[in-house]
């Protein structure tokens, strides 16, 4: 068992939040929402005892981990035309985490790896989603199209060197379904997703 002194810690957080929605007119609405939260470390993450079950990958918890302090902001837009049944939804979201819990890895001389957990700053993510739908009456089908964009920036450590990981995710979907579903409910479409990642080391 690793020798470690017991060090009780107390943390205080202010957790503000608000939500505002405004209906410009019937079928046209804007919204903004902000929330904050705290994610406390789990027992296994705090446990300072090294797990030797895999000699090539040793994991040791960190009893000095701080809770994650998460800030989440969302902007929403909704449009719906009740006459043409055309709809457009848009959502822009961003998350910023203070003291994010992430991995710190050490590659040993025998090529085995030792892992622990540390708190890092400037962990952020964002997403943008657009969803459009409208009926195509001559074909008696509904048409739906969506596009999503995601961004994430995180930090971990390799041999005590900061490694910044930046990733982008691009996705889209298109589909058609029949309007009258008394006898048959059929849908056809496809989706695609593409992700790129960059590492500073």
**Which tens digits make up the pLDDT trace of 134-186?**
999 999 999 999 999 999 999 999 999 999 999 999 999 999 999 888 888 99
Query: What was the pLDDT predicted at 9?
Result: 83
pLDDT for position 1: 47
Tell me the pTM: 0.84
| Residues in the chain where the model's pLDDT stays below 50 | 1
Token pair of 173 as six digits: 């979907």
Helices of type H across 34-179: 43-46
Supply the pLDDT for residue 7: 64
């Amino acid at each position: 068992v690793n020798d470690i002194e017991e060090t009780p810690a107390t943390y205080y957080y202010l957790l503000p939040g608000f939500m505002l929605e405004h209906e410009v007119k019937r079928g046209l609405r804007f919204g903004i929402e902000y929330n904050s939260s705290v994610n406390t470390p789990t027992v296994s993450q705090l446990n300072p005892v090294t797990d030797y079950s895999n000699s090539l990958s040793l994991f040791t918890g960190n009893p000095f981990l701080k809770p994650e302090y998460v800030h989440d902001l969302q902007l929403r837009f909704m449009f719906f035309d009740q006459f043409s049944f055309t709809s457009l939804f848009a959502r822009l979201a961003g998350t910023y985490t203070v003291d994010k819990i992430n991995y710190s890895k050490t590659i040993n001389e025998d090529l085995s790896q030792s892992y622990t957990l540390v708190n890092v700053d400037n962990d952020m993510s964002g997403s943008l989603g657009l969803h459009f739908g409208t009926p195509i009456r001559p074909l008696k089908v509904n048409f739906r199209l969506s596009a999503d964009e995601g961004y994430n920036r995180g930090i971990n450590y390799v041999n005590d060197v900061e490694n910044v990981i930046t990733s982008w995710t691009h996705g889209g979907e298109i589909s058609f379904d029949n309007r009258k579903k008394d006898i048959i409910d059929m849908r056809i479409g496809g989706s695609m997703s593409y992700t790129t990642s960059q590492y500073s080391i």
